[in-house]
Amino acid sequence: MQKAIAIIATLDTKGHEVAYLKKEIERRGFRTIIIDSGMRGKPVGVKPDISREEVAKASGKSYDDIEKLGRGDAEDLMMKGLKKVIMDLYLSGKINGILSIGGSDGTALASAAMRALPLGIPKLAVTPYMKYCETFAGTKDITFIHSVADISGVNVITKKIFDNAIAAITGMVEAGVPVGPSGEKAIAASMYGNTTPCVIKAKEILEENGYEVVIFCPNIGTRAMEELIQQRYFRGLLDVTTQDVVDAVMGGDYPALPNRLEVAGEVGIPQVIVPGCVDFTIRGSEDSLPPEYKNRRRYHFNPVVTLVRLNEREMEEMGRIFAKKLNKAKGPTRVLFPLRGLSMYDKMGEPLYDPKGDYAFLEALKANLKPSIELIEVDAHINDPEFAEKCARSLLELLRDSQK
CATH of the domain at 94: 3.40.50.12020
Q: Which helix (H) or strand (E) holds 126?
A: strand 123-127
The answer to whether residue 376 is domain-embedded is: yes
Domain for residue 390, yes or no?
A: yes
Q: What pLDDT shows up at residue 336?
A: 98
Establish if 319 belongs to a structural domain.
yes
CB–CB of 182/234 below 8 Å?
no
Our CA angle for 349, 254, 362, nearest 5°, is 50
147 with 191, same domain? no
Q: Where a domain ends, among 175, 206, 238? A: 175
271 and 343 belong to one structural domain: yes
pLDDT tens per residue across all 404 residues of the chain: 799 999 999 999 999 999 999 999 999 999 999 999 998 889 999 999 999 999 999 999 999 888 888 889 999 999 999 999 999 999 999 999 999 999 999 999 999 999 999 999 999 999 999 999 999 999 999 999 999 999 999 999 999 999 999 999 999 999 998 887 776 799 999 999 999 999 999 999 999 999 999 999 998 999 999 999 999 999 999 999 999 999 999 999 999 999 999 999 999 999 999 999 999 999 999 999 999 898 999 999 999 999 999 999 999 999 999 999 999 999 999 999 999 999 999 999 999 999 999 999 999 999 999 999 999 999 999 999 999 999 999 999 999 998 87
Query: Is 181 inside any structural domain?
Result: no
Residues 94 and 199 in one domain: no
Question: Phi/psi at 159 (nearest 5 deg)?
Answer: -60, -40
Provide the number of structural domains found in the chain. Answer: 2
Q: For residue 334, what are the CA distances in angstroms to 371, 391, 395? A: 11, 9, 8
Residues 171, 42 share a domain: yes
CATH code where residue 212 lies: 3.40.50.12030
Judgement on whether residues 167 and 204 belong to the same structural domain of the protein: no
Looking at the structure, do residues 127 and 192 belong to the same domain, yes or no?
no
CB 233 within 8 A of CB 118: no
* 367 and 286 in a common domain: yes
User: What Cα–Cα distance (Å) separates residue 73 from each residue in 28, 59, 100, 244?
Assistant: 38, 12, 21, 31
Q: Are residues 288 and 198 in the same domain?
A: yes
Cα pseudo-dihedral 128, 132, 135, 138, rounded to 10: 50
Residues 352 and 225 in one domain: yes
Look at residue 219 in the predicted model and tell me its pLDDT: 85
Give ∠ CA 340-341-346 in degrees, rounded to 5: 130
* 150: containing domain: 4-175
The predicted pLDDT at position 382 comes to 98
Q: For residues 342 and 350, what is the distance between their CA atoms, to the nearest angstrom?
A: 12
Taking the mean position of all CA atoms in its chain, how far away is CA 207? 24
pLDDT value at position 1?
78
Query: In whole angstroms, what is the distance from residue 322 CA to residue 311 CA?
Result: 16
- Looking at the fold, whether 200 and 129 belong to one and the same domain comes out as no
Looking at 145, 175, 205, which one is the last position of a domain?
Answer: 175
Same domain membership, residue 134 and residue 261: no
- 180 falls within a domain: no
- Kindly state whether residue 307 falls inside one of the protein's structural domains: yes
Is 19 in contact with 45 (CB distance < 8 Å)? yes
Contact (Cβ atoms closer than 8 angstroms) between residue 367 and residue 177: no
pLDDT score, position 183: 62
- pLDDT given for residue 40 in this prediction: 84
Residue 68 lies in a domain: yes
Domain boundary among 112, 145, 175: 175
* Structural domain includes residue 368: yes
Shared-domain flag, residues 171 and 190: no
